[in-house]
Amino acid sequence: NASAYAEATATLRAVLARLGAHKPEAATVLLADTNTESPQAAASTAWHNSSGGVNKTNAALLSDLGLWASPDEPPAAPLFKGCCCTPFFAGDTPFSWEGDRIVANAGSPASSRVLFDPPPAWACSEELRNATGSEFHKGVAFDLVLPAARSVSVAS
């Protein structure tokens, strides 16, 4: 919901500022299960759009964190349907959410690919979910080309 998003981004923004991630010479890569989809993905599924979630573009997400001022989209892995193995409601399907992101404030995307697609047989086990309280997400690999002599901060 909006208040949880505002609280979480304010906290992370403050941490990133203390680390100097907002400085022009810093390159920051955010790897996160954001629990937010793109506005386009949310609009394509009625329940996703009306569930109270906050749906952000990568540019809006980085802007909220104080890491992006451009109206253009930042370098990022494409959003993909990687969450979650267990549907959230009766009309949902496995892996119908696009909340996992890798996004940067510098560099150029070179390539990306989805990992664990198809997922391993154990990944959607009800026993695993009950034992861990966790949901399996497909992974993503993202290759980012950075200009020479840039430091990188990783926040996940």
Token look-up 């890798």 returns 102
Report cis status (omega within 30 of 0) of the bond before 85.
Answer: no
Report, as an integer, the average pLDDT of 104-123: 90
Region 5-32: what's the mean pLDDT?
91
Q: What DSSP string runs through 100-141?
A: EEEEESSSEEEEEEEESSSPPGGGG-HHHHHHH------EEE
Reply yes or no on whether the pLDDT at 144 is more than 90: yes
**pLDDT digit string, tens, across residues 77-104:** 998 888 888 766 666 778 888 888 999 9
Q: How far apart are CA 155 and CA 132, in angstroms?
A: 24
Does the CA dihedral 27-83-36-7 come out positive or negative?
negative
Quote the CA–CA distance of 156 and 128 in Å, as a whole number: 23
pLDDT value at 74 more than 50: yes
Number of C-alpha atoms within 13 angstroms, CB side, residue 73?
12
Give pLDDT, residue 156: 44
Predicted local distance difference test score (pLDDT) of residue 147? 77
Identify the helix (H) or strand (E) that includes residue 154: strand 151-155
d(CA 102, CA 90): 29
> How much is the CA Rg of the chain, to the nearest whole Å?
16
Residue pLDDT, tens place only, 25-72? 888 999 998 877 777 777 776 666 565 667 888 999 999 999 999 989
